[in-house]
Structure 1
Amino acid sequence: MAEPSGPRPAVAPRPVTVAAIHAAPVWLEADATADKAVSLIAEAARAGAQAAVFPESFLPGFPAWAGLAPPIRTHEFFRAFAAASVRVDGPQVARIRQAARRHGMLVSLGISESTDVSVGCLWNSNLLIGPDGALLNHHRKLVPTYWEKLVWAPGDGAGLRVSQTALGRVGMLICGENTNPLARYALMAQGEELHFASFPAIWPTRPPGETHAYDIEEAIRVRCAAHAFEAKCFVVVASNVLDEVASRHLETLGAEAEHVLSGTPRAVSLVIGPDGRQIGQSQREEGILTVTVDLGDCVEPKQFHDVVGYYQRPDIFQLQVNRTALQPAIFSQAAPRPSPPDPDWQDVA
């Protein structure tokens, strides 16, 4: 039998250039860090990026002190952190949204979020900002990890969403959430193509040199490669940098804190493809890692193993996700209380 004549149907390429922002915040300075974020968005745009992914709690920094000293010694750090944390509708986020619009950039931004209902309640949050400056998604970390519970409150499922953008379908999770199978599957089940994963600069669990001490670079590679491979999507990892200013502040906690800081592995920023393999180099020094990927490459691996398609058994397994945005209190609107009778008033016949 003769071979079919003519060209085979071609899958149209879907190139996307992403920028992983591997940078240090201006230590607990919200306005200065917002200005730095605006500058980095402009720099990423000049490099040809269409999306800029910032680290976990980039604005105004990551509360590493909670893993370096007992909580009875870190009250002043928490007070400063609470004061520097930002509102989603505040001026710092507004400036970053304006920069996204000015440069036509999709921006994923990690923030420590404060609220007007409490002076001490904070969330570890991530915002997805569209190239028109619109707020596409607002996700609060579902569960603060380990010693982060001393700083942040648990989030809710309201932001456990995949956003349809001009670049593709975008989801995002924060640090340890990238190891949460149900959270990850919730995003996979929404057709995620680009996954933004944000991390801190360091994450100490034991003194350096001890058995089972946590290596954040290794953990990033394992968990993010797993998600890329299972979801058949691209994962963009953006991690914080611990600069000298932050280190000097944290070292005031004592010699042990200084020892842990100097000996704890640092995080990296990188990009992983739908085959679970890293694309290009790792970013270890402060800077911007720019990588161009083809979202069309997400298609072929789905033939082999599509965990939300033919490789799922919804007759056996079902996942229900509560997307209710939780509030501390619900106030019902009631009729006004009747006024008491005027004691001086008398009914005159």
Structure 2
Amino acid sequence: MTLPIVKVAAVHAAPVYMNATATVSKAISFIEEAARHGAELVVFPESFIPGFPVWAALWAPIYNHDWFRLMVSNSILIDGPEMAQIQATARRNGVFVSMGFSESTEASVGCIWNSNALIGDDGTILNHHRKLVPTFYEKMVWAPGDGHGLRVNNTRIGRIGALICGENTNPLARYALAAQGEQIHISAWPAIWPTRMPGSGQNFDNLAANRIRAGGHSFEAKAFGILNSGFIDKIMFETLAASGDHQAIEVLENTPRAATQFLDPTGAVIGDTLQTEEGIAYATFDINACVEPKQFHDIVGYYNRFDVFNVEIDRRRLTPARFTPETTVARQGQPSGERVNVAETPFADMV
């Protein structure tokens, strides 16, 4: 059995903050650049389109209504024109793309999800995942997702799975992907994740925490890892600091910046690492290296006790309502030939 060797790229970049149209154009240029450098998989950070809602950490909810409206208006549909542009770019360049985005829906003008799409090298959407649980202040922005996207796609470059930020803290979410033979694990993260004012105690160290979680999964699943974090550029910083709030600016200046890096199936760092500058990081994955470590610990094989542990994953896509098709039936007691539209009658499902 010979497994593929693949060059992968992780885009360590800032969006054009809260501007979906401009951010899509920026993403396209990065995909094309990575493809020119031989990458076959191009990965983007959490909520790259239109940017991570750092404002939810900086100010109380009563001050964030304008920010929320702006975020909603720049969130995109999974089958909308913005995603279609990215799909077309993937197809044109023959590369796989993992895109973090804030997802809107036709079912609601204000419901958005923290989502990730894996796009095939033919431009088709292979997987569409919504973050299971928005973390901490993210709950004021995004709705909870479901298990529909807990899938690993078997592609020509390997078996690819992805989780968003704090989902990599969830052992069962990670196990759900490992149990599908995952070989390349994508973990998408924001540029910063403030939890405290500077000087008031230890802020959440996302540099260390991301590395621990992603490394743990690579070691346990015996999979390569792409730890892809966002970046804050001058425009994003100035947009968030435009209020003149000195405390908010202090948080932006002093919160630890996340890094983008790659891990081998033992959890060791390989390839490029980017943290303080915007750009594209590259690494080469020899998927054959996933095999030998399985001899030590195969948590979805011999190194488990399926007679002791029983894991069930519900991958239904949750929807706000289920509509039965309109149809017509003859109603008892009506004149011959007269028919009733079932969908318009009370208790139609009981007819």
Both proteins in one fold, TM over 0.5: yes
Q: 1:209 to 1:221 in 2, by over 3 A?
A: farther
From 305, 320, 333, the equivalent of 2:312 is: 320
Shift of 1:216: 1.0
Which has more radius of gyration? 1
Counterpart among 266, 269, 278 of residue 275 in structure 1: 266
Q: For residues 293-342 of structure 1, what are the alpha-carbon distances to aligned partners after superposition, in whole Å with 9 as ceiling and x for unaligned?
A: 11100000000011010011111101101111001011223545849xxx
Please give the residue correspondences for 1:87-102 in structure 2 after superposition, counting only pairs within 5 Å. 87-102=77-92
Provide TM-score, normalisation by structure 2: 0.91
Q: Residues 226-265 of structure 1: matches in 2 within 5 Å? A: 226-253=216-243, 254-265=245-256
| Distance across 1 between alignment mates of 2:11 and 2:257 | 15
Q: Distance between the aligned counterparts of 2:199 and 2:286, measured in 1?
A: 41
Matched, 1:153 2:143: yes
How much has 1:209 moved relative to structure 2? 3.6
Match of 1:182 among 151, 164, 172: 172
Alpha-carbon offset, residue 13 of structure 1? 5.8
Q: CA deviation at 1:137?
A: 0.2
1:218 to 208, 214, 221: 208
- Write the letter of the residue equivalent to 1:173: L
What are the superposed Cα offsets for residues 256-302 of structure 1, whole Å, 9 maximum, x if unpaired?
11110010011110001111110034111100001111110000000
Greater fraction of residues in strand: 2
Amino acid at match of 1:299: V
2:257 equivalent in structure 1: 266
Does 2:280 match 1:292? no
Query: Which residues of 2 match residues 29-48 of structure 1 at below 5 A?
Result: 29-48=19-38
Partners of 2:165 and 2:220 lie apart in 1 by 17
Read off the aligned partner of 2:187 and give its amino acid letter.
A
3-state DSSP of counterpart to 2:142: coil
Instruction: Label 1:307 to 1:104 Cα distance change in 2 as closer, same or farther (>3 A).
Output: same
CA spacing shift, 1:13–1:115, aligned 2, 3 Å: closer
Instruction: Output one character per residue of 1:228-261: Cα deviation in whole Å (capped at 9) or x when no partner.
Output: 0000000101111111112122123411111100
TM-score normalised to structure 1 length? 0.92
Q: Quick one: percent identity of the two aligned structures? A: 54
The aligned amino acid for 2:253 is S
State whether residues 49 and 75 of structure 2, in contact with CA within 8 Å, keep that contact through their aligned partners in structure 1. yes
Once the two structures are TM-superposed, the CA of residue 15 in structure 1 deviates from its matched residue by 1.1
Gaps of 5+ in 1: 1-10, 340-349
Query: What secondary structure does 1:279 align onto?
Result: strand
Q: Distance in 1 between matches of 2:230 and 2:97?
A: 16
Counterparts of 2:327 and 2:45 in 1: how far apart (Å)?
48
Residues 46-91 of structure 1: CA deviation (Å, up to 9, x unaligned) = 1110100000000111111001110000110000010000001111
> How big is the shift at 1:210?
3.5
Name segments (4+ residues, structure 1) moved above 6 Å. none
* 2-structure distance, mates of 1:167, 1:334: 45
Q: Quick one: distance in 1 between partners of 2:226 and 2:145?
A: 22
Tell me, in whole angstroms, the C-alpha distance in 2 between the residues paired with 1:202 and 1:228.
Answer: 23
Q: Which ranges in structure 2 are unaligned for 5 or more consecutive residues?
A: 329-338, 342-351
The CA distance in 2 between the partners of 1:219 and 1:172, in whole Å, is 17
CA shift, 1:214, in A, is 0.8
Deviation at 1:220, TM superposition (A): 1.1
Deviation at 1:27?
Answer: 1.1
Give the structure 2 partner of residue 208 of structure 1.
198
| Helix, strand or coil at the partner of 2:39 | coil
Tell me if structure 2 keeps the 8 A contact 1:47–1:290: no
Question: Matched residue of 1:223: which SS?
Answer: helix
- Provide the aligned length of Structure 1 versus Structure 2: 329
Distance in 2, Cα, partners of 1:36 & 1:168: 27
- CA RMSD in angstroms, aligned pairs only: 1.3
Q: 1:230 to 1:209 in 2, by over 3 A?
A: farther
**Structure 2 CA distance for aligned equivalents of residues 325 and 87 of structure 1:** 16
The counterpart of 1:164, out of the listed 144, 147, 154, is 154
Counterpart position of 1:57: 47
Equivalent residues in 2 for 1:190-201, closer than 5 Å: 190-201=180-191
Moved more, 243-252 or 73-82: 243-252
Structure 1 residues 328-347: aligned runs within 5 Å: 328-333=320-325, 335-336=327-328, 338=340
| Separation in structure 1 between the aligned mates of residue 94 and residue 279 of structure 2, nearest angstrom | 21
CA distance in 2, matches of 1:334, 1:221: 52
